[in-house]
Structure 1
Amino acid sequence: RLAPFITTINQPPSVTAGELELHLHPRATVDCLPGVASYVGADISAGVVSSGMATTDKLTLFLDVGTNGETAVGTGEWLLTCACSAGPAFEGAGVEHGMRATTGAIEEVWVHSQTHAPTYRVIGGGKPTGICGSGLIALLAELFITGVVDRSGNLVRGAGSEGRGARVRDGEHGAEYVVAWAEETAHGCDIVLTKVDIDNLLRAKAAIYAGYTVLCQSVGVDPADVEQVLIGGAFGQYINIEKAIQIGLLPDLPWERFQFLGNTSVKGAYMALLSRDARAQVADAAAKLTYVELSADNSFYDCFTSALFLPHTEIGRFPSVQAVLENGRNEEHVGEMQPEGVVA
C-alpha cells in the first residue's frame, strides 16, 4: 500500500458463492464490475453505460449527487471522471434537522418574498420531522432569492416578522431560520436551518460545482457548453432543477438539457447480470474513463473557493439567477403545490 486510499485492484476476480459463504448455490459465480480509481468505483462505470453516456455524441455531464460527488464529463469517444468529496450534507448529515428522504421529511419549500414565511411539503403528509436533501436545496435557494440569506450565506436578522416574531433569530449555534414552529412538527420542537447548516451546504455544492468545472476546463470547454446533464443516484431524481441552479449546484443551462435517471449503478448492474455484451461495455467504459485527482489539481481549490458564494463569486455564470435577483419574481404562483402534506 503506497498511499492512503489507493486501491489494490480495480477489477476483482470472479469467485463462487461458496467461497464467500453466500446463501446461494455454492457454484454460482459472483462477479464484481470494474472500478476506475480509489474514489470512483464500479457504480460510475455501470452508470456511464446504463445512462447511455458511453455511446452518445453529445457533450455530457454525468453527476451522482452524493457524499463522494462522483462526476464524469465526455462523449462516447472520451471520458473524464473525478470524485469531489462533497460530504453528506445533501443526504441530511451534518445538518441540525437534516434527515433522509423518508416519511416526515420536508422535501420542498417555498418562501414568500414579503413575509419570508415558508410553505412546505412533507413526504407522506402529516407533521414534519426534519428536512431531506431536496428540501435543503429548495430552502437555501428560496432564502437566497427572497433576501433572507445573502450571497455569502449569512442570514439577515429580523427577516420574516409576521405573527410569531422574526423567522431569523439567535440560536444555540448562531443565527437560524425557523422553518416550522414546534406545534407544527411531529416531535414538538422547532425545525430550523442554522448558519452552520448553510456553511455545510455551501461547501457541498461548491465541491460538486468545482469538480465538474475542472473536468470541463481540462479539455477546453465550459460548463455552459454541456449538451446534456444526466443526474444519477437515488437522491438525484428528487432535485428541483431551478433551485439547484439558484444555489450554484447545477450549471445554468436550459431545463430540457437535464435528465433524472434514478439509480444508474443498479440499472447497470442489472444490465451486466443479464447480458455479457453489457458486462463488456462496462469494462470498456471503466478502461476509457480517465481519472482526475482533484487533490493534486490547484485549479480545483480556486474553483471551489469561488463557488462558496450564492450562486457563485462570478454571478454572470448564472444569468437566470442574476435576472431573478435584479427583476424579482412573480409571487402569484409561489406556493401553489400538491395538497398532500402542504403546510402554509
Structure 2
Amino acid sequence: MSKRFSNILIPGISVILGLLVGAIVMIVSGYDPVEGYIALWNGIFGDAYTIGETIRQITPYILAGLAVAFAFRSGLFNIGVEGQLIVGWFAAAYVGITFDDLPKMIHLPLAIIAAALAGALWGFIPGLLKAKFKVHEVIVTIMMNYIALHTSNALIRAVSDGGDNTGAIQPTASLRSAFLENMTDYSRLHYGILIALAMVLVMWLILEKTTRGFELKAVGLNQHASEYSGMNVNKNIILAMVISGAFAGLAGAMEALGTFGFASVKGGFTGIGFDGIAVALLGANTPLGVIFGATLFGSLKYGATNMPNEAGIPEEIVSIIIAIIIFFVASGYVIRLLLERFSKKKEAK
C-alpha cells in the first residue's frame, strides 16, 4: 500500500469508525442516530448561514493549532496557547477601540500586529525561563494561562471604567465584511480565514524553506546534537516560543476583530487554545494537517450545536459522540499499523 493512498484512507476509516461507535452510543441512549447525524450535517452544511458560521469557527482553530504544532516541531509543549490567545484578544480589541482617526489600511494591520506581539510576549517569558533556567515550559505555560485570564479581565475593567467589555471596536479595525455576510446570509464569517490560511503558508515556509526553520526542527529532534553542531539552542528555544505565541495571539485577534468585535471579561477560559492541542495532534503537527484537524474539530464543534435542537439529543450525549469521533481520528496510528500488517501478510501469501 502506497504511503499517499494510506494517508487518505486512514483518516477516512477513522471518521467512519467514530461515526459508527457514536451511532451505537445514540442507540443505547434511546435516540435515533440517523436523525442525529442529519442534524449534525445540517448544522455544518445546512445552508449558507451555517457554512459561514462553520468556516468562522474553524478560523481560530487553525491558528491555535499552528501555535501548538510549531512549538511541537521545535521540541516544546506549549500548553499556554489559551493564555497567549487571550492577551492577543485584548491587545487587538484595545487597539481597535483606541484609535479612531486612522484609515483602515493602517488601523486593521496595527490591531492584528498588536495581537501577534502580545501573544509573542506571552510566549517569550516561558521560552526565556526554559532556555536560561531550564524551567519546564509545561508548568510555566499552564500558570501563564491563569495570569493572562485575570490580567486581561483587570485591564478590560480598567479600560471600560469598571464595565464588563471594552465596547465595540472601530469599523476601521474590523475584519467583518458586508460581502461575506451577504454571501452567507448574514453569518459572522470574516476575512480572518484568509489570514489563518496565510499563516499556514508562513509556518510551512519557515520550517521547510529557511535555515532558521531547519535549526528549530533540529533543536526539537536533539538539543545536544544541535548544540554540538554549533547551533544556538537557547536562542532557538526562545524564538520557537515567540513564534508560537504570535500564532496564538493572531487567533485572539480573529475573535476580537472578527467574530465578536470587542473583548469582554471572561469567567473562564475560551477553550480554543486547549482545543488547539487536539487540532495539532490530529494534524500530525504539520501545516496542512492542521487545516484538516481544525476543519474537523471546528465543523463538529459548531455542527453539534444543532443536534439538541433538531434531533432532541442532550448536549452531554452530543459531547460524548464528538469526543468518540475525534478519538478514533487521533487513533489513526493504530489503524495504520493494522493495515500495514494486513498488507504484509497479503504480500507474503
Bin the TM-score by the shorter chain.
under 0.3
TM-score w.r.t. the length of structure 2 is 0.23
Structure (1/2) with the larger strand percentage: 1
- Of Structure 1 and Structure 2, which has the larger fraction of its residues in helix? 2
**Which structure carries more relative contact order (alpha carbon 8 Å, separation 6+)?**
2
